[in-house]
Amino acid sequence: MTRCVFRRPMKGRPTGRPRLYAAAFGLAFLCVSAQAAQEPPAIDRPPTRADILRGEYGRYRANNDLLSYHLEVRVDPQNKSIAGRNTIRFRMLRDDTRIQIDLYADLNVDKILFGTTLLKYEREINAVFIDFPSTLKGGREYAIDFHYSGNPKERGRFGGMAFRTDPQGNPWINTACQGEGSSVWWPSKDQWRDEPEEMRISVAIPDDLVDVSNGRFDGKTPLGDGYTRWDWHVQYPINSYDVSLNIGKYVHFDDRYEDMTLDFYVLPGSLEGAKRQFAQARGMLAAFEHYFGEYPFKKDGYKLVHVPYSGMEHQSAVTYGNRFANGYLERDWTGVGISPKFDFIIIHESGHEWFGNAVSAADVSDMWIHEGWTTYLEDLYVEYTFGKEDALKYINAYKSKVRNQQPIITQRGIHRPPPQDMYFKGALFLHTLRNIVNDDDKWFTLLREVYQRFKYHNILTEDLVQFFNARLGQDLTPVFDQYLRRAALPTLELVFNEPERTVAYRWKTDERGFAMPIDVTAAGKSWRLLPTTDWAVMANSAAPDAFEVATDRFYVNVVKR
C-alpha cells in the first residue's frame, strides 16, 4: 500500500495550501546547494548509481502499490545460507511491463514466476528489474513468486544478516538491516514510501531452534526432515527494514498489559535478568499510550527479543541487546543522572512503534520523523515517569551531542541516511516547538492529533509542517526550515546600549522569514519577546549578564554585545 499523504513531485501539483508547499520546495532546493558548500566530504560526495537505484522512487517502483508479502525461507545455520521465495502481491497503478524489486548482488535469483510463466529480469547492482511478457494493467492486482538463495554477508552497524553463536555455542542468527536495507537478505521493494498492508513470514529452521519474527505467532509445523517451520502473521503495514528473523535457543515468558499480549524471548542464561528488566515495558506502554493513544500493533502484540547487538525497532518484535541493565550499554547516556533510571533500549526502540513504525517517513531524507521524534519520546517518558524537572535536564543534556554542521533533512531520493543531528537536534527542536506553543494542554493535544492523523501513513516533513501550521493557525514554515533544512542554529543577537538604556534584538538566521518567540528575564521580570530577522529596540536597564534568555526551553544561540 502506498501510504503517502503527500505525493509528489511525480504526481503533479499537490492539493491544498499551495503557498506553503511552494515555499517548502524552494527551500529544499536552496538547501541542497547550501549543503554542498558546508558539508564534510562523506555527505558532499555525489550520489553513486547504487544510492539512486536504492533511494529513488522511480518509474518501476511508482507504477505499483504493494499489497502483501509472503516470505518463506529455510535458514541453514551450518552453511550460513538462506533459500526460499517471496510471494509479492501488488496493484498496478498504471499500465507497464516492468517493475523494480531489490536483492543484493551477492544473493542468487533462482527464478521469478508469474503464475507458471518464468519471467525475464535484469540485475543492476542491487536492483532487479523484472519484465512481464505482456502489459500489466493499471488498477489490477498481480502476484509474483521471487525465488532466491545464497549466503548473506554480515554488514552494517547491526549485522544485516548475521550467523553467530550464543555463549553456549548454539546458532544465534539475527537480521537487522535498517541502513543497508531489507534486500541484504530478502527480495523486497527496498524503499520507504510503499509498504504492504500485511505480511506472512514462514521460517524453516532446525527442530531444536526457535524463530521469532514480526507479527502474531501462527503456529509451527515439523517438516519431517529435521526442520520445523515457524509461521508469523503481520496484520499491519510494515517497513521492509523492520522485517526480522531471530533464530536461537530462545526461552519464552509472557505477560499482559490491559488487553494486549507481551511476549519475551531470551537466551536461557539471561532469563532472570530479563524478567527483572523487561518489567519496564509496562511503564513504557503506559507513558506512550498516555501521550499518543493505544499501542499501534495490538493485534500483533508486543515482543522483546534478545539479540547480540544493542537493539532495533523491529515492528511488534523489538530487538534488545542492552545487557539487561539501565542506561545505554551500562553508560549514563546523557550524562546527567537521568539515563541510569531506565533502560534506554526498551524505551527508545519501543518508542519507534509510534514514530518510525506507525508514523513512518516516506523517504530516508526525512528520517528525523523516526529518530528526532523517538528521541523526543524518550523525554516524554522521562516526564511521565520521573517528572518535568528530570525531563528538562534530560533533553538539555542532548545538546552536547549536536554538531550543527549539516542540515537534518538531506537530499531526497538518494539512499543516504541523514547526519546524527536528526536524533538530538530533532528532539531539541520539538522541545523548542513545545515552548513556542507555550501551553502544555494545547501541546499534548497537538502531539496526540499528529500521531492519530498520520499513524499507518508514510509522510514527508511537509505533511508535518502543514499540519502544525493549520492547527496552530500560524506559518511556522521558516522555523521548521531553519532547524531542519539549515545547518546553523538560530542566533538571538542582543546589542545593549547602556547610556540609552535600551537593548536591540533580532534573529540571525538563514531563513529571512524566521520569527520565533522566546522568553527572557531581566530586572526580576519575565516576558516573551517576539524577535524577527529585523532589528527591534526596547527599553532595558539590566546589564548584559543579568539579561537571561530561556535557552533551556528554546534551543538557540545567544550573542550579547
Which parts of this chain interact with Zn ion (CB under 5 A)? 371, 374
CA distance 430 to 436: 10
Nearer to Zn ion among residue 195 and residue 378 (C-beta): 378
Of 418 and 531, nearer to Zn ion (C-beta) is 418
Minimum Å distance from CB 352 to Zn ion?
Answer: 6
Which residues on neighbouring strands pair with residue 212, listed in sequence order?
246
- Min dist CB 547 to Zn ion, Å, is 38
Q: Which is nearer to Zn ion, 99 or 367 (CB)?
A: 367
The total number of residues written for the chain in this structure: 561
User: Helix (H) and strand (E) counts for the chain?
Assistant: 13, 29
Q: Do 301 and 232 meet the contact criterion of CB atoms below 8 Å apart? A: no
DSSP 140-159: -EEEEEEEEEE-PPB-SSS-
Residue with cell 547487538: 309
CB of 296 vs Zn ion, minimal distance in Å: 16
95, 138 contact by CB (below 8 A): yes
CA–centroid distance for 215 within its chain: 19
- Which secondary-structure segment (H or E) carries 73? strand 64-76
- Amino acid in position 163: F
Which amino acid, one-letter code, is at 416?
A: R
| Least Cβ distance, residue 18 to Zn ion (angstroms) | 34
Nearer to Zn ion, 374 or 406 (CB): 374
Question: In the bound complex, what is the minimum distance in angstroms from residue 409's beta carbon to Zn ion?
Answer: 17
Least distance (Å) between residue 378 CB and Zn ion: 9
Residue 116 buriedness (CB in 10 A; 0-12 / 13-18 / 19+): exposed
Q: Which is nearer to Zn ion, 318 or 391 (CB)?
A: 318
Q: Are 236 and 41 in contact (CB under 8 A)?
A: no
- Closest CB to Zn ion among residues 369, 397: 369
**Identity of the residue, 34 or 377, whose beta carbon is nearer to Zn ion in the bound complex:** 377
Least Å from the CB of residue 158 to Zn ion: 11
Count CB neighbours of 541 within 10 A.
12
In the bound complex, what is the minimum distance in angstroms from residue 336's beta carbon to Zn ion? 20
Nearer residue to Zn ion within complex by CB, 99 or 397: 397
- Residue 403 Cα distances to 40, 179, 304, 422, angstroms: 12, 21, 32, 10
Cell numbers for 336, please give them.
546527567
